[in-house]
Amino acid sequence: MIRPEPGQYYIAGTMRDMETSISLGDQQVRFDRDATMALYRSTITEPGSDSCGCTYCKNFARQRQGVYSDEFKLLLDRLGIDHHKEWEVFELGPSGAEPLTIKYGGWFLFCGELTKGPDTHPEAPFSFCFTTSFPTGTLPQHHPLCAIEFIAEARWILPEQYE
Ligand SMILES: [Zn+2]
């Protein structure tokens, strides 16, 4: 598990070659920001939790802007990811906190690949890391895709009972 502190990741590369790499703990990815921005314009046009629409996703969708840290949103932006459009979230049960708080995991996708470090998963909220295992669904295959996976917490704010 990698829990980056502000400023722990850095970017290498030049404006000229457009291909850039970014480090997060002992992981490194190569990414294509322009291709990722195009992916969010053409293909990932709706947040995963909106298109699912189950109660867990609805609860997440209502609060999605509040669950991410500023550092995380900055990292997503540098990769070319639209932070309003998570690819998918999954519910991991109550965190034990009062009032009722739910643990969620999820992925954001980008055009790139893991070039160094272990293929790992985050464990505790709020943390994130790069991973190559994520559901791809019906995505176009003409670009290598990589994901940033997060674990977050959100209060249960729906009038419906959490089950
Ligand atoms: Zn759902």
Q: Where are the domains of the chain?
A: 21-155
Separation of CA 56 and ligand 1 centre (Å): 6
CA-based nearest residue to 147, from 48, 7, 14:
48
pLDDT means over runs of 10, the chain (163 residues) = 49 54 94 94 95 95 93 95 96 93 97 94 94 86 91 96 91
Separation of CA 36 and ligand 1 centre (Å): 24
pLDDT of residue 140: 76
pLDDT of residue 11: 53
pLDDT of residue 151: 97
Separation of CA 31 and ligand 1 centre (Å): 28
List Cα–Cα distances, 94 to 104, 124, 152, in angstroms: 9, 13, 12
CA-based nearest residue to 63, from 109, 104, 122:
104
pLDDT of residue 12: 54
Separation of CA 148 and ligand 1 centre (Å): 19
pLDDT of residue 65: 87
Which residue has 């502190």 as its token pair?
5
Beta strand 127-131 pairing with 101-116: unpaired
Separation of CA 66 and ligand 1 centre (Å): 18
Q: What is the model's pTM?
A: 0.87
List Cα–Cα distances, 124 to 79, 81, 94, 130, 139, in angstroms: 23, 22, 13, 15, 29
Distance, in Å, from the CA atom of 93 to the CA atom of 103, rounded to the nearest integer, reads 6
Separation of CA 20 and ligand 1 centre (Å): 33
CA-based nearest residue to 103, from 118, 87, 120, 91:
91
Separation of CA 22 and ligand 1 centre (Å): 31
62 CB contacts (<8 Å, ≥6 apart)?
Answer: 157, 158
110 within 8 A of 147, measured Cβ to Cβ: yes
Distance, in Å, from the CA atom of 57 to the CA atom of 79, rounded to the nearest integer, reads 24
Separation of CA 121 and ligand 1 centre (Å): 20
